[in-house]
Amino acid sequence: MNTLAVLAQAPLWRQELQSVYEALGGSVWPLVLFGVSAAMGLARVVSNRLKRSTLCVFAASILFLAGVFVLRWIVSGRAWYLPPVMNQYEAMLASALLGCIVAMVLELRWRNGVALLASSLYAVMILLACRLVDGSLADHPGILDSPLMAMHVAIIIIGHAVAGMTLLLSYPYLFAVIWRSPGWPAKASVIAFQVAVIPGLIGWPALAFAKPELRDVCATFAGATYLIAVAGMGALAFVTVSPRTDSAMLAGMDRANIILARIGCFAITLGTILGAAWGDVAWGRWWGWDPKETWALITIVLLLIALHVRPIAGERRGLITAVFCLLAAGAMLVNWIVVNYLLAGLHSYA
């Protein structure tokens, strides 16, 4: 662990903060808090009760995670303009935090619990995944020492967090839409699909947890399972859906989905533009068809399709938005898992 090397030259107060950071950041408390927040969020959406207490737990979870984030920023000893977004672990931690902050703003505006639930589930998923990757405080390479790079990563991370939240909204949305359509084949196909996919969604990360030496293989299969889940759910929806399946809850989910899609699309586009500006300064080229850049473009195109098709999709607008949001979130997952660990490129962590 490079933490010791980083801290060896750190002042005493920072070394003391380090022990606080390790006690908080290394603990399961953020996970537990967001887990409770997600459970209460689910109860709040279903029963329309526990509004204030759910919001308080969610706010406390965010504050706790923000504390861990700021502590890591201070302990790492980096410049003030370089937040901890320099590696996979930090990017994931930041995406959970920034996604939840965006969701809190939306929740305070909408007050329907949808964004809160989606972001709490997203945070649980991400904090679980954080336990699989190296979280040591290694010194970052000098090429990353740029405010432009920090802005680029932070904004992209917001975009990815929001795309992740659309995944968590679109999936149950499609599930509910298919489930409500008449006839038993729809229900049977949904159950069969879940039975086929969910063990993979949970099983691969669990296996990676148990056997770290199989982490790369598990990450690949987990990524593939996510894509199958995303594409399969969308395909099922198209095959079986009846457009007359709207309800207040689904309408709320759809409304949240489209706004999150807008935020995600704007953030990923702006982040990619800032990345181009940094790439021009750092590498001498603003665009290089690096796998990460290509998959960011794919995510943007998919979100733009969702936004452009929606006005002309009539009664199926919610369905189409959900399908393309799922695909965009799938592209985001490929970017995080496959591109980061398996493909060679300037952004590769492999």
Partner 1 sequence: MPMRFLLTLPLRALASVWPSVAVGAILVAYLAFASLAPQKTASLLGADPAALMRHPVALACGAWLLAAVIVSTIARVPFSVRAVGAWAAHAGFVVLAAGAAVNVLAGQRGQAVSYRTDHGWSEIDEFQLANSAALHVVAVSGAQDLAAMELPLDINPITAGGVQLGETQTAGGVAVEVVDFVPRAQIVQQWRDDSPLPMPAAVVGIDDGESSMRNVMCGWGKPAVTWEFGDVVVMFHGSADSEMAGRMLTRHPPEEICRGRDMLVLLSGQDVPLSLVILRADGQAELVPMSPGRAVTVKLAARTLNIAVDRLFTHAALHTAAVPSQDDLGVPAINVRVTWGDWRGAAALPFDPLGQFEQQAWLCGQQRALAMRFARRVVKLPHRLRIEKAEYLPSSDGKTAKDYRCDVLVDGAPAVIGLNRPLRAGDWQFTQGHWLDEADDPRMIMFEVSSRRGLTAIWTGLGLIAAGMFWAFFIKPMLAGKREGEQ
Applying CB under 8 A, which part among 28-36, 144-152, 168-176, 189-197 lies near partner 1?
144-152
* 140 touching partner 1, by CB under 8 A: yes
Residue of the chain from 59, 138, 231, 249 that contacts partner 1 (CB under 8 A) = 138
Helices (H) and strands (E) in the chain, counts: 13, 0
Contact 45, 54 (CB under 8 A): no
**Whose Cβ is closer to partner 1: residue 20's or residue 298's?**
298
How many residues touch partner 1 under the rule CB under 8 A: the total is 50
Distance CA 298, CA 332 (A): 9
* 108 touching partner 1, by CB under 8 A: no
What phi, psi does 137 have (nearest 5°)?
-90, 60
Q: What is the distance, to the nearest Å, from the Cα of residue 65 to the centroid of all Cα atoms in its chain?
A: 15
Burial 102-113 (b: 16+ CB within 10 A, else e): bbbebbeebebb
CB of 180 to partner 1, least distance (A): 26
**Whose Cβ is closer to partner 1: residue 1's or residue 239's?**
1
243, burial (CB in 10 Å: exposed 0-12, middle 13-18, buried 19+): middle
Residue of the chain from 28, 46, 143, 217 that contacts partner 1 (CB under 8 A) = 143
**Whose Cβ is closer to partner 1: residue 169's or residue 338's?**
338
Q: Name residues contacting partner 1, limited to 250-289 (CB under 8 A).
A: 262-263, 265-266, 269-270, 273, 276-278, 280-287, 289
Which residues, other chains included, contact 328 with Cβ-Cβ below 8 Å and sequence gap of 6+? Answer: 163, 166, 261, 264, 299, 302, 303, 306
Where do contacts with partner 1 occur on this chain (CB under 8 A)?
2, 5-6, 9, 138-143, 145-146, 148-149, 262-263, 265-266, 269-270, 273, 276-278, 280-287, 289, 291, 294-295, 297-298, 301-302, 304-305, 307-309, 312, 331, 334, 338, 343
